[in-house]
Amino acid sequence: MKILVIDDHPTVRQMTIRLLACLGHTPLEARDAAEAEATLSDEVEVILIDLHLDGADGGALAGRLEARRSGVHILFMSGVGQDVFAARELGGPRRGFIEKPFSLNRLNDALQTLLVPP
């Protein structure tokens, strides 16, 4: 499955890409909103996006990308915790959250949970 990883921290982005490749996925990467919008294609099934991007709000960017790619799943990630995700009311169908840092198993579990039909 093609997964677009959007994170402005190169180390986090590269580690996430390696984990996704280990799970058999095809990761695409973007470091900011402009790259994310240029990289998004009809083949992307999941967007894995940091809530806090330099110069952009990850929640707002996810909404714009979701409007362009109907049916895409959004997995938000952040080191600030689930409470911030819940407070921002970003949940919904085809949306989930994973707290950083995460392991290979936690990432796999989050993706599996996200992809279960409602």
Structural domain count, the chain: 1
Task: Report how far apart, in Å, the C-alpha atoms of 46 and of each of 2, 23, 43, 83, 87 are.
Answer: 7, 14, 9, 22, 23
**Which domain CATH number covers 60?**
3.40.50.2300
Is-cis flag, bond preceding 118, omega within 30?
no
In tens, the pLDDT along 46-99 reads: 999 999 888 888 999 999 999 999 899 999 998 876 666 554 557 778 999 999
Global confidence as pTM: 0.92
The parent domain of residue 33 ranges over: 2-114
CA dist., res. 6 & res. 76, Å (int): 10
